Chain A
Amino acid sequence: MHHARPTRWQAVAATPEFRSLLRSRRRFVIPATVFFIAYYLALPVTVGWLPRVMSRPVLGPLTLAYCFALSQFAMAWILLAVYLRRSLGFDVRAARIRRRETAELTDAER
């Protein structure tokens, strides 16, 4: 299972390629997580404390609350699509690091 000593992992962790991949991932994942949790919690908060406003019909008989709830489905699927697109780039960069490291490893073993 462990085909490299911990020091090797630290060396990989210090490479600029890895640091920049980590930074790019974080730059997407952290704001996206904060956004979806805030967007989701806004639903119980507005429904709980502004029930009058949220009961107002806005789209035919559909109330503002129901439209907001349905928009959560759209939000989840859109964020999913954005992440799937973004992660294609992450995959390529991760594969490059993986290839380089395994190649060096086989050289070292030889």
Chain B
Amino acid sequence: MIQLENIIFLIVAALGIGLFVWQIRKIRKNILIGRDVDRSDNPSERINKTLLVAFGQQKMFKRMLPAVLHLFVYVGFLVINIEVLEIMIDGIFGTHRVLGFMGPFYDGLMAVNEILAALVIVACAIFLWRRNVTKVPRLATGVEMRAWPKMDANVILITEIVLMFALFAFNIADLKLAALNNHTLPGTFPVSSSFVDIFGSDAGTLANIAGVGWWIHIIGILAFMNYLPSSKHFHIIMAFPNVYFSKLWPKGKFTTNPAITHEIKAMLDPSYQPPAPEMDAEGNPIVQRFGVKDVEDLTWKQLMDSYTCTECGRCTSVCPANITGKLLSPRKIVMDTRDRLEEKGEHPAIFAPNHYKEMGVERVQTTDEKALLRGYITPEELWACTTCNACVESCPVNIDQLSTIMDLRRYLVLEESAAPASLNAMFTNIENNGAPWAFPASDRFNWAEDLYMPSKN
């Protein structure tokens, strides 16, 4: 039964998948530019977290309406993929509804599929409405929400709607054809059966519609897959590893640089022997920057964060600095990281990095420096952060925006001594008095003077 059509399909599918693998390899290469960090500990806790936060969408449910709508699209994506698998097999071997042998299970599956597909259309339509008509602030505002991120979001939503309609067209025509030929189609189709007559009763037309619906769906999916690496929609893949590798310790614990510890210990105790520095391939010691100036100074996990970001803006909408009109937007930090990484490393198929300067965004005072710091992210943004962790708490896919902000700050202070003057004064106070204020250390215990309390008798 294998015909020319099947061979064409096989070639299209192989090209689509091959292109996708090629793009994934580029992204993998980009992420591995980052510094190494060990996140292989506690696999069982990590699996639990992945089940709850990634599979279970736990953190989405802080906001009910988008959570429920997103759940439709998410579950729809997971379940409809089973039908996609069938479409693939049918396409390669020239079979027709090859999984139909599963009987009642297949009936149930198709029924759930159709209901989910309808819900996906409803959810995507509401999402489009929220973005373009009611303009929910976190989706519609912010200097980082430039032309491309806005278009990207609409492209995805419209594509998803088109894919679902193609699926329905295929099912409706298939169902009607089966009825005309007096045989029963495997599966139950609660949505399509209500619209079974809309394409008329001409067998030729119906066969064409079924064929076109089928092809649009499958080519659409392959195209969509290859669009993902250029898009925020890449989160549908990255959310899972990103949650798995997210930090397990308390949010208040910031990283400690052991190189600095050795330096201080050697300073305090001249007999202290710091471990030999790591050598590069030519046998020269690797001198690491303190803090982060550019993307290669970040860890692979921080770079992975940037590929996981869905640009939903929950982080920015809860950021106290952003709420009160400061320039800082945690989402911008993450989006800038990805743009800079792709500018410096490998590009995906569609790539339009944002240079705020060229775009005339005056508020963001970037320079021409080819680096993440100042080229994309300005000190003003970094100094506005209160390290309150609201962004980290809010992120549905466990991005750690704060760690990137802190590492950039560290570069400003440790490598450039570029802290605001008042912070330098605070540092001096700690060095001299052991307190951030200019009080003499000898007065530290004065609070205990003349302290009375009621006597017990």
A and B found bound together: no
Interfacial residues, chain B to chain A (CB-CB below 8 A) = none
Interfacial residues, chain A to chain B (CB-CB below 8 A) = none
